[in-house]
């Protein structure tokens, strides 16, 4: 008898998922993910710098019982890994935000819904049981921003992630060359791309009623996708300051995480407005090209935080080993962006689950070889520091 094989059977790593996603997602949307701003230097270096951190192997320790569970934002998680907010997730695979949220929920890790998602806050809430996290951009239209907060609260969100590193949009040359837009502009070359991906087209048609659900029909004057493009380009707020963030803090009584911190001075500001946690992030190398890699600034920010603010990080995390390196350096958790998005593009919800399983298994094996049984036991003593 021949067993029916899933394309995921031979997928062993996040890189394997990436290869599959590259085949299955039309070029303009695949490259929207696999790209960074300008030279892509920071984007590529984020991943590379993890390779500069080495573990300390220990033997002769009973590691038969190992557990990756931990806490993020006061909630128990199967492993300290949250799904990062990713705009246009629903263009990788129809209903992408719902599928990723369901996969995260079943696995026991947090899912963060981007402000710029295809499925709305309400769509995701309707299709999940547990609270998910909501990511906010503080738009120029503060009344609308306030409405988003109300909708997130109403949907049961208890954790808010406010992203700060987008006062203006960094340029990714690939998006310009691909003439990226959502919905896609129909040209001969885009038509050829889509016709080569019948499965992707089928999924998109099935979910075509979902279109930037957080914004279309909610923001003033935005009732169509063409009005959306104009609205979004006008709404990034380059005037945003810590005073505005104090306003957000006052509006949100749940757990507050500020994302996009790379500098100790900004960590102090975040703590002073009452944020409980920050994400050390350079937006996955999509904003300030030439910014330092996140794993390289982690130690100085951990030391400055002095256990007063929870420190999370993201950027370049592609394995369970990367997660453990960040934890060993003092992070309370990591966010993954592309790692789960490649899974989604490769195989929908099953691909996201597969990405989480890969990371989880890699963590368990590595913990055994470090001589550690619990995440709370992991620290600097597990690393060989230069
Ligand atoms: C992002 N990121 C992001 N961040 C955010 O706060 N709101 C958003 O809407 C988006 N959108 C977005 C789209 C795409 C395609 C990517 C790849 C990233 C940044 C994201 O939350 C996270 O910081 C990075 O993805 C982390 O880097 P890795 O894990 O992708 O290397």
Q: Tell me, in angstroms, the distance from the centre of ligand 1 to residue 283's CA.
A: 5
Q: Is residue 199 annotated as involved in ligand binding? A: no
Domain at 14-384, CATH homologous superfamily? Aldolase class I (3.20.20.70)
Looking at residue 310, what is its pLDDT?
98
Please work out whether the CB of residue 262 comes within 6 Å of at least one atom of ligand 1: no
Stated pTM of the model: 0.98
Is the pLDDT confidence value at 57 over 80?
A: yes
pLDDT tens across 249-296, in order? 999 999 999 999 999 999 999 999 999 999 999 999 999 999 999 999
Looking at residue 253, what is its pLDDT?
97
Looking at residue 149, what is its pLDDT?
98
Is the pLDDT confidence value at 21 over 70?
A: yes
Among 21, 40, 86, 111, which residue has the most ligand 1 atoms within 8 Å of its CB, making it the best to mutate? Answer: 86
Is 209 among the residues known to form the active site? Answer: no
Looking at residue 230, what is its pLDDT?
85
Cα distances (angstroms) measured from residue 340 to each of 181, 182, 363: 22, 21, 16
Is the pLDDT confidence value at 87 over 70?
A: yes
Q: Which residues pair with 260 in a beta bridge?
A: none
pLDDT tens across 363-375, in order? 999 999 999 999 9
Is the pLDDT confidence value at 119 over 70?
A: yes
Is the pLDDT confidence value at 1 over 60?
A: no
Looking at residue 385, what is its pLDDT?
80
Q: Is residue 315 annotated as involved in ligand binding? A: yes
Q: Tell me, in angstroms, the distance from the centre of ligand 1 to residue 114's CA.
A: 9
Is the pLDDT confidence value at 299 over 60?
A: yes
What is the chain's mean pLDDT, rounded?
96
Please work out whether the CB of residue 163 comes within 6 Å of at least one atom of ligand 1: yes
State the catalytic residue, choosing from 173, 197, 209, 283: 283
Please work out whether the CB of residue 317 comes within 6 Å of at least one atom of ligand 1: yes
Q: What is the ipTM of this complex?
A: 1.00
Q: Is residue 58 annotated as involved in ligand binding? A: no
Q: Is residue 179 annotated as involved in ligand binding? A: no
Cα distances (angstroms) measured from residue 175 to each of 21, 31, 184, 187: 17, 7, 12, 15
> Given the CA of residue 114, which atom of ligand 1 is nearest to it?
9
Is the pLDDT confidence value at 71 over 80?
A: yes
Is the pLDDT confidence value at 4 over 80?
A: no
> Given the CA of residue 32, which atom of ligand 1 is nearest to it?
15
Looking at residue 68, what is its pLDDT?
99
Secondary element (H or E) of residue 339: helix 338-370
Please work out whether the CB of residue 292 comes within 6 Å of at least one atom of ligand 1: no
Of all protein residues, whose CA lies closest to atom 17 belonging to ligand 1? 33
Phi then psi for residue 25, to 5 deg, are -110, 135
pLDDT tens across 307-331, in order? 999 999 999 999 999 999 999 999 9
> Given the CA of residue 88, which atom of ligand 1 is nearest to it?
13
Looking at residue 229, what is its pLDDT?
82
- Chain mean position to CA 130: 18
- Residue closest to 312 by CA, chosen among 277, 363, 272: 277
Please work out whether the CB of residue 117 comes within 6 Å of at least one atom of ligand 1: no
Looking at residue 132, what is its pLDDT?
98
β-pairing, 310-314 vs 277-280, is parallel
Is the pLDDT confidence value at 3 over 80?
A: no
Looking at residue 102, what is its pLDDT?
98
Percent of the chain with pLDDT strictly greater than 70: 99
pLDDT tens across 326-358, in order? 999 999 999 999 999 999 999 999 999 999 999
Instruction: Tell me the three-class secondary structure of 31-43, residue by residue.
Output: HHHCCCCCCCHHH
Q: Tell me, in angstroms, the distance from the centre of ligand 1 to residue 191's CA.
A: 27
Q: Is residue 95 annotated as involved in ligand binding? A: no
pLDDT tens across 175-227, in order? 999 999 877 888 888 889 899 999 999 999 999 999 899 999 999 989 888 88
Q: pLDDT confidence of 90, banded at 50, 70, 90? A: very high
10 Å CB burial of residue 22 (0-12, 13-18, 19+) is middle
Q: Tell me, in angstroms, the distance from the centre of ligand 1 to residue 78's CA.
A: 22
Looking at residue 5, what is its pLDDT?
80
């Amino acid at each position: 008898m021949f067993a029916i094989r899933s394309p995921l059977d031979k997928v062993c790593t996040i890189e394997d998922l990436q290869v599959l996603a590259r085949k299955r997602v039309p070029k303009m949307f695949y490259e929207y993910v696999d790209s960074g701003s300008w030279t892509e230097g920071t984007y590529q270096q984020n991943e590379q710098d993890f390779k500069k951190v080495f573990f300390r192997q220990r033997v002769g320790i009973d590691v038969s019982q190992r557990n990756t569970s931990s806490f993020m934002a006061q909630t128990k998680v199967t492993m300290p890994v949250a799904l990062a907010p990713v705009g246009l997730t629903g263009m990788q695979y129809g209903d992408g935000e719902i599928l990723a949220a369901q996969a995260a929920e079943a696995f026991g890790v947090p899912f963060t819904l981007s402000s710029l998602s295809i499925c709305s806050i309400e769509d995701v809430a309707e299709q999940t049981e547990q609270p998910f996290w909501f990511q906010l951009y503080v738009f120029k239209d503060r009344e609308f921003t306030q409405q988003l907060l109300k909708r997130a609260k109403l949907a049961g969100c208890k954790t808010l992630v406010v992203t700060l590193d987008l006062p203006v949009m960094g340029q990714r040359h690939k998006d310009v060359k691909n003439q990226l837009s959502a919905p896609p502009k129909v040209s001969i070359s885009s038509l050829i791309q889509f016709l080569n991906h019948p499965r992707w087209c089928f999924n998109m048609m099935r979910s075509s009623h979902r279109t930037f659900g957080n914004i279309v029909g909610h923001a003033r004057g935005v009732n169509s996708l063409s009005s959306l493009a104009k609205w979004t380009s006008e709404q990034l707020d380059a005037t945003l300051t810590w005073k505005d963030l104090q306003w957000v803090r006052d509006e949100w009584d749940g757990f507050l995480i500020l994302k996009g911190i790379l500098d100790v001075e900004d960590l102090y500001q975040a703590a002073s407005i009452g944020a409980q946690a920050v994400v050390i992030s350079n937006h996955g190398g999509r904003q300030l090209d030439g910014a330092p890699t996140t794993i390289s600034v982690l130690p100085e920010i951990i030391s400055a935080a002095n256990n007063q603010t929870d420190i999370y990080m993201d950027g370049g995390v592609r394995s369970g080993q990367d997660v453990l390196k960040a934890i060993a350096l003092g992070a309370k958790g990591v966010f993954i962006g592309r790692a789960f998005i490649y899974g989604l593009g490769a195989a929908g919800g099953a691909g996201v689950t597969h990405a989480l399983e890969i990371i989880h298994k890699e963590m368990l094996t590595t913990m055994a070889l470090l001589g550690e049984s619990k995440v709370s036991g992991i620290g600097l003593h597990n690393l060989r520091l230069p």
